[in-house]
Structure 1
């Protein structure tokens, strides 16, 4: 692929971890005014009504990094709504690292849906119920993406890991820079209980809120990638035993779907990465 010319250089300039304001770091890309930047750039809200949802993206593209954002999800009856928060590269053989939050009837848990796409192929869904009410307050949702693995984290607790298993023929995202995107949209054909529960438009507009974006990441531009001073901390980071144990507990208690154990979908046996 032409992307393999990408070079990673470490800048020697001192650059602190960048906590960006929404007006300088993001573009609201659709929604006709339904996406708003408030509080001097410190808060971003996306809204959904019957006519349209809304979305934003980062101005910069990243190649490896630790990306953190605090989200407060749509409160009340959010059935039928999806808040998607994901990293994605361009093109037909794109890479993507996905969080999607599937709304629900008041009092029922949100489903946090995760997926990893490599070279345009996904089908790696794992779903969790959260151990708190994600609509009552802000919580931090993070992606650690380095050459070893992709780790999904909630309030700094790892919930899922996708290892770099290129040596056994599983493609891994490492050449295509990604932007961070988020959108709030109506997916009542499938989002809540497989589409049985529809969106109640009398409760619109539905609103999700974002704050405290941090990208400790290598920024990619014009085929070159420059990494902030101190990147080595996350660039080579692996999970220690404590973190692995925490992840196992979350998966045991809160995972509600795992593609690796779905024998109906994979009658010939689980995908390769599930066996390592």
Structure 2
């Protein structure tokens, strides 16, 4: 269609090889710019694998909906079938409704092994009428301790909302409905480890953590409300390198010149400041009691 439009604009009247070359280049650029960068077709049967919990994990509606449940016997979970290095990972979730105290719905990227990298969303349940806590963390080479926690500005149990991890060589951005809530920048040049070498899979699970999840473990799970259920749909991955034995290895170097965002635009920075001013409830970079010998190194360079 675009090629026909260019020909109608007069390109077809040119007989020179240089003009034809320009047409070809423009056409190729248009195709590249318009080609989808997403992976998969949204069918959860094809993209995700149910890994534990037996019948408690289900893919329904022809692959459009996934449910996890938790009861007195077990929780449940799934993982992506593919590993990714960098990319934007989107999933719509509807969290456990009602009295969800003691439950945790985890949604995260992780590599394998003891020295693993990990990028976490965890949704900590609460008693009816109280807000969920969104717990975030970043692990590099098996070390985390980079927690930030937030309330949400909506009830995450009423409708589906989109939770995104944007991971590239420059930073990690946690997003809720396209609103950034946290940015973790790559400060390797200043001696701060950054996860950029190990491909990761997406994981999610619904499990009981009433020893710590709600008010530090003071509120226990009310099993009379079981089974607890969380819902997932519209899994999407964009701008990712898929790690595969049959393809070249994914490396940070291959993304060095890729046109990926290096941070937030002005509107994104304003939204981030809004979330962190009104909805952040814990930031490890402010916890001097936890780090009496000095805050982690990256806390000196955090700018929004």
**TM-score strictly above 0.5:** yes
Please say if 1:274 is aligned against 2:299. yes
Higher relative contact order, chain-length normalized (CA < 8 Å, sep 6+): 1
- The match for 2:131 among 89, 109, 126 is 109
User: Relative to 1, partners in 2 of residues 1:168 and 1:16: Cα closer, same or farther, differing over 3 Å?
Assistant: closer
RMSD value over aligned CA atoms?
Answer: 1.6
User: How many Å separate the matches in 2 of 1:151 and 1:171?
Assistant: 16
Which of 162, 185, 188 does residue 184 from structure 2 map onto?
Answer: 162
Q: Distance in 2 between matches of 1:16 and 1:250?
A: 29
- Does the 8 Å CA contact 1:147/1:236 hold for their aligned counterparts? no
- Aligned to 1:49, which of 71, 81, 102? 71
Q: Which one has a larger percent strand, Structure 1 or Structure 2?
A: 1
Secondary structure at 2:55 match in 1: coil
Q: For the pair shown, which has the larger CA radius of gyration, 1 or 2? A: 2
**Does the 8 A contact of 1:165 with 1:273 survive in 2?**
yes
1:63 to 85, 88, 95: 85
Q: Distance in 2 between matches of 1:81 and 1:272?
A: 33
TM-score by length of 1: 0.91
- Distance in 2 between the 1:104 and 1:236 partners? 35
Match of 2:20 in 1: none
> 4+ residue stretches of structure 1 with deviation over 3 A?
none
* 1:189-215 deviations in Å (ceiling 9; x for gaps): 000000000000010000000000100
Task: Kindly state the Cα deviation for residue 15 of structure 1 after the two structures are TM-superposed.
Answer: 5.1
Asked whether 1:249 is paired with 2:274, we answer: yes
Q: Between Structure 1 and Structure 2, which shows a larger proportion of helix residues?
A: 2
Give me the whole-angstrom Cα distance separating, in 1, the residues matched to 2:69 and 2:296.
Answer: 37
Task: Note the residue ranges of structure 2 that are not aligned, 5 or more in a row.
Answer: 1-31, 252-256
Is it true that 1:92 corresponds to 2:106 in the alignment? Answer: no
- State TM-score, norm by structure 2: 0.83
Point out where structure 1 has 5 or more consecutive residues left out of the alignment: 1-11
Structure 2 residue matching 1:213: 3-state secondary structure = strand
- Residue 214 of structure 1 is matched in structure 2 by 236
Quote the residue 1:177 is aligned against.
199
State the number of aligned residues. 260
